[in-house]
Amino acid sequence: MNPSFSALTIRQRKLLPVVQGGMGVGISAQSLAGAVAHENAVGTIASVDLRHLHPDLVAASSKASGDEELNRLNRVALDREIKGALARAQGRGLIAVNVMKAVADHPALVRQACESGAHAVVMGAGLPLDLPEMTADHPDVALIPILSESRGIAIVLKRWMKKGRLPDAIVIEHPHHAGGHLGAAQVADLGDERFNFKRVLEETQQLFKTLEIERERIPLIVAGGMSHFAKVRTALTEWGASAVQIGTAFAVTHEGDAHDNFKRTLAQAKDEDIVEFMSVAGLPARGVLTPWLKSYIKRLDKLQANAKADPARCTQALNCLSVCGLRDGLSKAGQFCIDLKLSAAYRGEVSKGLFFRGKDPLPFGEQMRSARETIEYLMTGRKPVGV
CATH number of the structural domain spanning residue 111 = 3.20.20.70
Alpha carbon 53 to chain centroid, angstroms: 18
Q: Is residue 246 part of a domain?
A: yes
**How much is the pLDDT for 319?**
60
Positive or negative CA dihedral for 86, 90, 18, 250?
A: negative
Q: Global pTM? A: 0.95
| Average pLDDT score, the chain | 93
Q: Please indicate, yes or no, whether residues 260 and 339 belong to a single structural domain of this protein.
A: no
Return the ∠ at Cα 206 (arms to 204 and 212), rounded to 5°. Answer: 100
pLDDT-wise least confident of 66-80, 113-127, 135-149, 321-335: 321-335
Q: Please indicate, yes or no, whether residues 55 and 155 belong to a single structural domain of this protein.
A: yes
Helix (H) or strand (E) holding 69: helix 67-89
How far is residue 12 from each of residues 89, 111, 157, 240, 242, measured CA to CA in Å?
17, 23, 21, 20, 15
**How much is the pLDDT for 258?**
97
Q: Is residue 79 part of a domain?
A: yes
Which whole number is the average pLDDT over 82-108? Answer: 95
Which whole number is the average pLDDT over 234-240? Answer: 96
Radius of gyration over every alpha carbon of the chain, rounded to an integer in angstroms: 19
Q: Please indicate, yes or no, whether residues 288 and 240 belong to a single structural domain of this protein.
A: no
**How much is the pLDDT for 297?**
92
Q: Please indicate, yes or no, whether residues 148 and 283 belong to a single structural domain of this protein.
A: no
pLDDT band at 65 (very low <50, low <70, confident <90, very high): confident
Q: ω before 110 within 30° of 0 (cis)? A: no
Backbone angles phi, psi at 52, to 5 degrees: -65, -15
Q: Decide: residue 332, CB within 10 A, 0-12 exposed, 13-18 middle, 19+ buried.
A: exposed
Q: Please indicate, yes or no, whether residues 332 and 291 belong to a single structural domain of this protein.
A: yes
Query: Is the pLDDT assigned to residue 326 strictly greater than 90?
Result: no
Neighbours of 131 (CB within 10 A): 26
**How much is the pLDDT for 318?**
63
CA-nearest of 79, 124, 72, 135 to 98 is 124
Q: Residue 386 half-sphere exposure, CB side, CA atoms within 13 Å?
A: 5
Summarised one tens digit per residue, pLDDT across range 181-235 is: 888 888 888 888 999 999 999 999 999 999 999 989 999 999 999 999 999 999 9
Which whole number is the average pLDDT over 102-122? Answer: 95
Beta bridge partners of 13: 10
Q: Please indicate, yes or no, whether residues 123 and 221 belong to a single structural domain of this protein.
A: yes
Q: Please indicate, yes or no, whether residues 235 and 332 belong to a single structural domain of this protein.
A: no
**How much is the pLDDT for 76?**
97
Q: Please indicate, yes or no, whether residues 225 and 291 belong to a single structural domain of this protein.
A: no
The contacts of residue 176 (CB under 8 Å, 6+ apart) are 190, 191, 195, 224, 225, 359
Query: Is the pLDDT assigned to residue 312 strictly greater than 90?
Result: no
Positive or negative CA dihedral for 370, 371, 372, 376?
A: positive
Q: Please indicate, yes or no, whether residues 187 and 311 belong to a single structural domain of this protein.
A: no
Q: Is residue 74 part of a domain?
A: yes
Summarised one tens digit per residue, pLDDT across range 241-295 is: 999 999 999 999 999 999 999 999 999 999 999 999 988 878 899 999 999 999 9
Which whole number is the average pLDDT over 97-103? Answer: 92
Alpha carbon 224 to chain centroid, angstroms: 11
Query: Is the pLDDT assigned to residue 152 strictly greater than 90?
Result: yes
How far is residue 359 from each of residues 38, 39, 287, 318, 348, measured CA to CA in Å?
27, 26, 8, 30, 20
Neighbours of 62 (CB within 10 A): 6
Reading phi first (left if > 0) and then psi (alpha if -120 to 50, else beta), residue 244 is in: beta
Which amino acid, 192? D
pLDDT band at 314 (very low <50, low <70, confident <90, very high): confident
Q: Please indicate, yes or no, whether residues 63 and 26 belong to a single structural domain of this protein.
A: yes
Query: Is the pLDDT assigned to residue 317 strictly greater than 60?
Result: no
Q: Please indicate, yes or no, whether residues 104 and 121 belong to a single structural domain of this protein.
A: yes
170-173/284-288 β-pairing: unpaired
How many H helices and E strands in the chain? 14, 13
CA-nearest of 316, 356, 322, 351 to 336 is 316
Domain region containing 364:
8-266+358-380
Q: Please indicate, yes or no, whether residues 165 and 285 belong to a single structural domain of this protein.
A: no
Count of structural domains within the chain = 2
Q: Is residue 351 part of a domain?
A: no
